[in-house]
Amino acid sequence: MSTYKQIYGYAIKDVASDPSADEGQLWYNNASYAFKLAALSTVGSWASGGNLNNAVYGQAMSGTQTAALSFAGSRYPLPVTAATEAYNGSSWTAVNAMNTARQYLAGCGTQTAALAFGGFPPATVATNTTELYNGTSWTTNPTGMNTSRANLSGVGIQTAGLAIGGDRLPTTPRTTGAVESWNGSSWTNTTSLNTTRRNTGAAGTNTATIVFGGFIDSPNSVRTESESWNGTSWTNTASLPQARWNMGSAGAQTAALGFGGSSSPAGAPPNNSTINWDGSAWSTLPGTLATSRTRMSGTGTYPAALGAGGYGIPAVTSATEEWTGPGVVVTKTVTTS
Amino acid sequence: MAQNFQYCVAECWGKGFITHEDASKFQISGFPGNVWQVPAFNREANVWINGVAGVRKTKNEAQAIVDAITQAAQAEWDNIPADDPRKIVGNPNYRPRPVDIALPE
């Protein structure tokens, strides 16, 4: 006599919450009364993540989509902060604060081995201060960057980072294209950007980076330029589809994302669009942030990025959004349509 | 005039409020006052509104919520002294005056 299993195959599991599944797995979610399927995503999209405990903008981030760190920034109209929060893939937890409160800093590394550098302390005089996080607490490095600056970009890891461009206020001219390399204990000047600018997006490592967009003054303009770093020199690449600055960014030199930001130096509303670098060209992706914002921060990879905080309309936001790129296994509901 | 969007008010609780499955099927845009915009006459969007316990609003009702918050922020900005760093273009603490938001039909 035939059994159910012989005729229909294995029984479908009945679960209360969606499991972490491999492509092709099917289950029944008895909480949502729906059959669910693990399938490859065909388009990239942003999903809501756990909200930050405190709305913040102009902060820095490190780590991955499921193990990230957000540090410093501003809680406008409250003061510039040194607060740090850690993300576990679903919620943020307050951890030990940095030693120096600041906004518009840069960061890189992982959740448990992060690097923070530059920024504006409350006095709005650009700092060169560098701090290291060991998963528990922050330590100020004895020496800082050679050029004090804020509104810079940072990529790499705690033992091999890169500080790119920035704003030297109150030094004039404010904008610098200076680039410094971090070896785990000190900064060394290296080749400057071809286009001097600040407030850029950036993704990559100490030896393989893409830098894009940003702002220059004299005359004030938001930029479309993109440059690639090979560890020795910068090469101009294809331009962005639209000038943009103050965006979040994530990914690698050959597969990067830019999201949010704005396209005009003063008064322009924040952006919600996502741009993608595929190693040869920039394009605008259909997936948009649910919350338009500028001065947000990002971390992670092209297929799995994380964006949090930022300045929306009309206020600072605590919203976190998680990017999943095409070709990643996601949960889908089985429908009759 | 054709109705392209519908609106609701719902508080974003964080993870799971908008899933990748939702975002890959239709566009969800957030506005001040926990106002959310999704496509009109869209079955998946209707399911999402119900799932987040969204309170449906007409376009005019949603616009009134957004206007009230925007105008309060604009009034707050207008009351900042002209020499405050928040009003000086180029200062790191400069904040542009919040712009009006016109919700589409």
Q: What is the pLDDT of residues A219-272, one digit of tens each?
A: 889 999 999 999 999 999 999 999 999 999 999 999 999 999 998 776 678 999
For residue A315, give Cα distances in angstroms to A271, A283, A295, B72: 14, 29, 12, 11
CA distance A222 to A209: 20
Spatial CA neighbour of A325 closest among A40, A43, A22: A43
Closest chain B residue to the Cα of A217, Cα to Cα: B90
Q: What is the mean pLDDT of each run of 10 residues along chain B (105 residues)?
A: 91 95 94 96 96 97 96 93 86 84 92
ipTM: 0.94
- A332 pLDDT band (50/70/90 cuts)? confident
Query: If contacts are CB pairs under 8 Å, which of residues 221-240 in chain A contact chain B?
Result: none
Confirm if B89 and B83 have CB atoms less than 8 A apart: no
A85 part of contact set with chain B, CB < 8 Å: no
Closest chain B residue to the Cα of A328, Cα to Cα: B20
pLDDT of res. A6: 72
Give the residue extent of every domain in chain B: 5-87
Residue with tokens 């016109």, as numbered in its chain = B102
Best probe of the B interface among A48, A91, A273, by most B CBs < 10 A, is A48
A vs B, Cβ pairs < 8 A, gives 101
Q: Where do the domains of chain A lie, and which CATH numbers do they carry?
A: 4-40 (no CATH), 45-322 (2.120.10.80)
Q: What is the DSSP string of A60-74?
A: EEEE-SSSEEEEEEE
pLDDT of res. A337: 54
Please judge whether A48 and B16 are an interchain contact, meaning their C-beta atoms are less than 8 angstroms apart. Answer: yes
Q: Can you say whether the dihedral through the CA atoms of A297, A190, A82, B73 is positive or negative?
A: negative
**H or E stretch including B25?**
helix B20-25
A73 has which bridge partners? A81
Q: Which two tokens stand for residue A153?
A: 């970009």
Residue with tokens 């975002």, as numbered in its chain = B23
User: CB-based burial of residue A175 (10 Å sphere; 0-12 exposed, 13-18 middle, 19+ buried)?
Assistant: buried
pLDDT digits (tens, 9 = 90+) for A130-185: 999 999 999 999 999 999 999 999 999 999 999 999 999 999 999 999 999 999 99
> ∠ at Cα B67 (B64, B72), nearest 5°?
130
Confirm if A105 and A118 have CB atoms less than 8 A apart: yes
Q: Which two tokens stand for residue B59?
A: 């376009």
Spatial CA neighbour of A272 closest among A300, A255, A296: A296
What residues of A are in contact with residue B27 (Cβ under 8 Å)?
288
pLDDT of res. A91: 98
